[in-house]
Amino acid sequence: MFVRLCLCLLVLLPGAALAADLNLGPGSDLPTLIGGVAPGDTVTLADGEYPIESRIDFVDLAGTEGAPIVLRAAEGATPVIVRNGGGATIQITRSSWVRIVGVDIRGGDSGDPENPYNHAGVGISEGSSDILLDGMRIGNLRSNAVGIGDASNVTIRGCEMHDLVNGNGIVAGCSDGNCWLSGGIIAGNWVHGLEESSGIYIHNAGQGNTVRDNVVHTVGSRGIRVGTTAGGAENVVEGNAVWSTGGHGLVANGPSTVRNNIVFDSAGNGIRSDGSSDGFADARITHNTVFGTDDDGVELVGWATKTGCVLANNAVSNANGYAMQAGDGAIDEGNRIVGNVATGLIRGFDELLGHYGPGFGAGDFEDAVNWNYYPVDGSAVLDQGDVAADSYVPSTDFNGAARDGAAPDVGAYERIENTNPGWLVREGFKATGAIGGEEVEVSGCDCEDTGEATGAATAFLPLMLLTLGFRRRRDD
């Protein structure tokens, strides 16, 4: 064990103590040592494992953008905190500007199969704000990888959540809507191997959140779900790849923009929107590609009594079942259903014939069997998108390529080359950035920049500008 404590010559706000750098190695008492940190302090962990029996707490720490509290991996290191016991591994309570970068969490083995540890990853609660989880690997747990109660401006990016027995990858808010996440950014993560629960689940009242460029697969329940917003700003779900879900692939049950997503091989609906909840309004589902679901490709429930909802320019292929279904029959004329290309049966949209066109199934795509849903020459989706302003055509596609504003292609992709020039859907992190022969960067972070703003401010940082940093890529 080694512990080296040094004072850094930093100029802080008047009245604040000097910031400290605490460098720790395996064998350190993390709960005790980290429990004494203050705003401006940085704790750096060397390579190795750190078994703990009690959780690490960040409580009542009023950090600032200029003086955050940082827990990070040393350069080139892979520190792993092993949770031997129940409950959260790290808990952030009533705190602001806490950054955890490149530190992994793994659940320990109790040694008794009849009484395993009920361990979890990171908890964020009680009004905490401006929190960053970056480049972490959180897995082999029996509960949630990340659980968020009442919080704002939480950014989770470049993290892997995996192998959870009875937990969600990321769950935010309370089931009764009395606590929620606002202004959250969940971007560029890889969520997989969940036996029973959902990949990314935002409870009702969650508002102004962005769920972008995540890869979610092999989960026991829903892939990604957003709910009503309690009158707050809409949630945005875009550019995600979701497959092999035990429930629905994508669920939008409140004010939301759902665009440029790829969903396939779901046991439930590919995309489901249920308007029966109080507060449901303005669901805008545009330019998604859905393929090969066990249930309906797209199902809309409760839209018949709503107005202002949009289902436009989606490519939906479910040749062996229903491509599109309106669960309660006719959809009110106050909603917009236009420009969709569907392969499969249609139910509940009879009065809207002419608002969608027939597709060619797998023949519309480059290699659907191998998860490549890029449209081929002659595809039924080419140039068929409706361009009206209230069809909400996004300016870019799943790859980040610009769309044709005069005649956009239907579905998640805009065909700009003969073959897919961007990231090919596969297990792992989604690559984002420049396409068309230029270098493709992977969404993540430059972890040397520990002063970077988190939360809502990060929403304006294009993922293509974020470099690999300390986020490790593993083949295991």
Q: What is the pLDDT of residue 321?
A: 84
Angle at 257 between CA 252 and CA 258, to 5 degrees: 65
Cα(401)–Cα(415) distance, rounded to whole angstroms? 9
- For residue 473, the tally of other CB atoms under 10 A from its CB is 10
Per the listing, tokens 């720490």 go with 61
**When comparing pLDDT for 307 and 395, which is higher?**
395
Q: What is the DSSP string of 371-436?
A: TEEEEPTT-TTTT-----GGG---SB-TTSPBP-SSSPPSSS----SSS--SPPP-SSPPEES--S
**Tokens linked to 18:** 């000097």
- What is the pTM assigned to this prediction? 0.88
pLDDT of residue 361: 93
Q: How far apart are CA 183 and CA 233, in angstroms?
A: 9
Within 8 A by CB and 6+ apart from 144, the residues are 120, 121, 164, 167, 168, 169, 170, 171, 197
Instruction: Reduce the DSSP state of residue 468 to 3 states and report it.
Output: coil
Write down the pLDDT at residue 364.
97
The amino acid at 1: M
Q: What is the mean pLDDT of residues 40-63?
A: 98
Q: For residue 434, what pLDDT is reported?
A: 62
Q: Helices in 235-372 by DSSP H: which ranges? A: none
Residue 365's identity, in one-letter code, is F
Residue 347 pLDDT grade (very low, low, confident, very high; cuts 50, 70, 90): confident
Confidence of residue 296 (pLDDT cuts 50, 70, 90): very high
Residue-level pLDDT at 326: 87
| pLDDT (tens digit per residue) in 419-468 | 999 999 999 999 987 664 333 333 333 333 333 333 333 332 333 333 23
Compute the distance between CA of residue 105 and CA of residue 89 in angstroms, rounded to an integer: 8
Residue 365 — φ and ψ, nearest 5°?
A: -120, 160
In the prediction, which pLDDT does 279 show?
Answer: 79
List Cβ neighbours of 319 (8 Å cut-off, separation of 6 or more). Answer: 343, 344, 361, 362
Give the integer Cα–Cα distance in Å for 353 and 349.
7
Return phi, psi of residue 429, to 5°. Answer: -80, 145
Strand-pair partners of 7:
20
pLDDT by residue (tens digit) across 210-245? 999 999 999 999 999 999 999 999 999 999 999 999
Q: Count, in order, helices (H) and strands (E) of the chain.
A: 1, 42
Contact of 427 with 217, CB cutoff 8 Å: yes
- Statement: residue 60 has pLDDT above 50: yes
Rg, the chain, Cα only: 23
* 18 has pLDDT over 70: no
Evaluate whether 171 touches 198 at the Cβ level (below 8 Å).
Answer: yes
The helix (H) or strand (E) run that includes residue 31 is helix 30-34
Greater confidence (311 vs 277) lies with: 311
Residue 12: Cβ-neighbour burial (10 angstroms; 0-12, 13-18, 19+): middle
Name the token pair of 8.
């850094």
Give residue-wise pLDDT tens across range 140-156: 999 999 999 999 999 99
Examine the pLDDT at 209 and tell me if it is beyond 90: yes
* pLDDT for the residue 319: 85
Q: CA-to-CA distance for 390 and 197, rounded, in angstroms?
A: 35
Name the average pLDDT for the chain.
87
> pLDDT confidence of 352, banded at 50, 70, 90?
low
Instruction: Tell me the DSSP string of 228-259.
Output: --TTSPPEEEES-EEEEESS-SEEE-SSEEEE
pLDDT of 57 over the 50 cut:
yes
